[in-house]
């Protein structure tokens, strides 16, 4: 059986900008696959190429064994795409919107009516079906958008940030819906800024940074590679790099410490990977005290997908998002911290 999605050595350039340098991953039928990475990492470009909205410069992209480059019209029949921004005609009811979508897919009238009723039921939208979408809440707008993407029963549903901006209750409704889709055999490709969302839903994960896949596997496999618990240590709220390096050399000598990373985007805090043990924090604090180094804050936790990203790049996903958005200048902050 062909993979539901196959991406090999994908490349895309916009002028002098390499949006996608070399991205490869494979999704098996019936999986939920999570694509993680900050803004500007190449996620949306990859999705647009997969959904035939943009042409790659190089590489191979297939959906259910069909090349999206050579046979885009056939590939589209296997794809459902729900963009991050919900675009609805506010004067149409939910049912009218789906009827319009069905006409665009050239679904026969009888089949369209039956399928519209199915997706409305699947997303618990029956009582809202004949109300104008302009009166919908954010959660209802996202759910009717999902219904439109599912209307033609695609093999692969591609979701770009499906729960961004939704309240907790609406997010859980979408989560349960995606689990139902997986159980029915639909393949789901999802991008999300919510690490816990990918951790909870995804069977496989690929993390993209600066146009490259930097880590891939199941969430458990990726977190297990960290090799122990995570300890976050702040010497001061903003520490000089010399002091952070001194603490790093000290902590690396402790027998239970496996790795130390200085996170310059967060005031030169230190992120440690330690062998799980009950007295790790007290042993670290004692060593710091003996060396005459203060401890502004310290915490221990189990590894997360953000720790995987940190281990691969030296910064958290949130820091990468802030840098991409231009709200934080890591170089300028490092200079301030060194004064």
Residue 174 has a pLDDT of: 84
Last residue of a domain, one of 170, 188, 218: 218
CATH label of the domain that carries residue 330 = 3.30.70.100
Listed in sequence order, the residues at least 6 apart from 195 whose beta carbon sits closer than 8 Å to its beta carbon are: 36, 304, 305, 306, 317
Q: Are residues 19 and 145 in the same domain?
A: yes
d(CA 327, CA 312): 22
The edge-to-edge listing of strands for the beta sheet with 156-160 is 66-67, 58-63, 5-14, 17-27, 212-217, 204-209, 32-36, 187-191, 156-160, 79-82
Q: Is the dihedral of CA 52, 125, 27, 314 positive or negative?
A: positive
Token pair 């665009």 in the structure block, residue: 104
d(CA 250, CA 314): 19
Q: Is the dihedral of CA 194, 196, 201, 204 positive or negative?
A: positive
CA–CA distances in Å: residue 167 to residues 93, 171, 178, 179, 189: 23, 6, 17, 19, 22
CATH label of the domain that carries residue 26 = 3.40.50.300
d(CA 194, CA 74): 33
d(CA 100, CA 106): 10
Last residue of a domain, one of 218, 247, 268: 218
Q: Are residues 63 and 83 in the same domain?
A: yes
DSSP-derived secondary structure for 195-212: HHHHHHH-SEEEEEETTE
d(CA 237, CA 76): 51
Q: Are residues 138 and 245 in the same domain?
A: no
151 three-state secondary structure: coil
Q: Are residues 37 and 144 in the same domain?
A: yes
Residue 326 has a pLDDT of: 66
d(CA 59, CA 22): 8
**b (16+ CB within 10 A) / e for 114-153:** ebbeebbebbebeebbeebbeebeebbbbbbbbbbbbbbb
d(CA 74, CA 50): 13
User: Phi and psi at residue 294, in whole multiples of 5°?
Assistant: -75, 165
CA–CA distances in Å: residue 63 to residues 20, 28, 42, 55, 263: 19, 11, 19, 15, 39
Last residue of a domain, one of 188, 218, 248: 218
Q: Are residues 143 and 195 in the same domain?
A: yes
Local structure of residue 129 (DSSP, 8 states): T
pTM: 0.76
Q: Are residues 53 and 202 in the same domain?
A: yes
For residue 128, the enclosing domain spans 5-218
d(CA 3, CA 23): 16
Residue 100 has a pLDDT of: 94
d(CA 194, CA 206): 14
The count of domains in the chain is: 2
Are the beta carbons of 219 and 205 closer than 8 angstroms?
yes
Q: Are residues 247 and 214 in the same domain?
A: no
Q: Are residues 193 and 233 in the same domain?
A: no
Q: Are residues 194 and 274 in the same domain?
A: no
Q: If we measure between CA atoms, which residue out of 66, 63, 84, 69 comes closest to residue 11?
A: 69
d(CA 182, CA 195): 19
Q: Is the dihedral of CA 17, 23, 29, 35 positive or negative?
A: negative
- pLDDT tens for the chain, 339 residues long, are 789 999 999 999 999 999 999 999 999 999 999 998 888 889 989 999 999 999 999 999 999 999 999 999 999 989 999 888 777 889 999 999 999 999 988 999 999 999 999 999 988 899 999 999 999 988 899 889 989 988 988 999 999 888 877 788 888 888 888 998 899 999 999 998 788 888 889 999 999 988 999 999 999 898 888 778 889 999 999 999 999 999 999 999 999 999 999 998 889 999 998 987 778 899 999 999 999 999 999 998 888 888 888 877 777 777 777 776 665 444 444 444 443
Q: Are residues 154 and 32 in the same domain?
A: yes
Q: Are residues 287 and 185 in the same domain?
A: no
Q: Are residues 181 and 277 in the same domain?
A: no
């Amino acid at each position: 059986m062909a993979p539901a999605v196959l991406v090999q050595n994908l490349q895309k350039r916009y002028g002098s900008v390499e949006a996608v340098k070399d991205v490869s991953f494979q999704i098996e039928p019936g999986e939920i696959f999570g694509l993680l990475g900050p803004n500007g990492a190449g996620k949306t470009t990859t999705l647009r190429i997969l959904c035939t909205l943009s042409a790659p410069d190089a590489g191979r992209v297939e959906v259910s064994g069909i090349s999206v480059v050579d046979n885009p019209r056939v590939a589209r029949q296997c794809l459902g795409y729900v963009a991050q921004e919900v675009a609805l005609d506010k004067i149409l009811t939910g049912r009218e919107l789906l009827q319009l979508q069905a006409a665009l897919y050239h679904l026969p009238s009888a089949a369209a009516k039956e399928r519209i009723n199915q997706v409305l039921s699947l997303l618990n939208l029956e009582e809202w079906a004949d109300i104008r979408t302009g009166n919908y809440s954010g959660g209802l707008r996202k759910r009717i958008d999902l219904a439109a993407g599912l209307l033609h029963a695609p093999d692969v549903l591609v979701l770009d940030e499906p729960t961004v901006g939704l309240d907790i209750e609406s997010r859980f409704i979408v989560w349960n819906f995606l689990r139902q889709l997986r159980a029915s055999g639909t393949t789901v490709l999802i991008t999300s800024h919510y690490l816990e969302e990918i951790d909870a839903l995804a069977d496989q994960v690929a993390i993209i940074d600066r146009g490259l896949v930097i880590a891939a596997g199941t969430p458990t496999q990726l977190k297990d590679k960290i090799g122990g618990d995570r300890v976050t240590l702040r010497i001061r709220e903003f520490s000089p790099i010399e002091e952070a390096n001194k603490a790093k050399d000290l902590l690396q000598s402790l027998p239970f410490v496996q790795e130390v990373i200085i996170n310059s985007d967060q005031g030169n805090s230190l992120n440690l990977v330690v062998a799980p043990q009950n007295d790790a924090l007290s042993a670290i604090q004692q060593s710091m005290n003996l060396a005459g180094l203060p401890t502004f804050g310290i915490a221990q936790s189990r590894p997360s997908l953000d720790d995987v990203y940190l281990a691969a790049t030296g910064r958290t996903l949130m820091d990468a998002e802030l840098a991409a958005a231009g709200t934080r200048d890591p170089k300028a902050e490092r200079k301030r911290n060194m004064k």
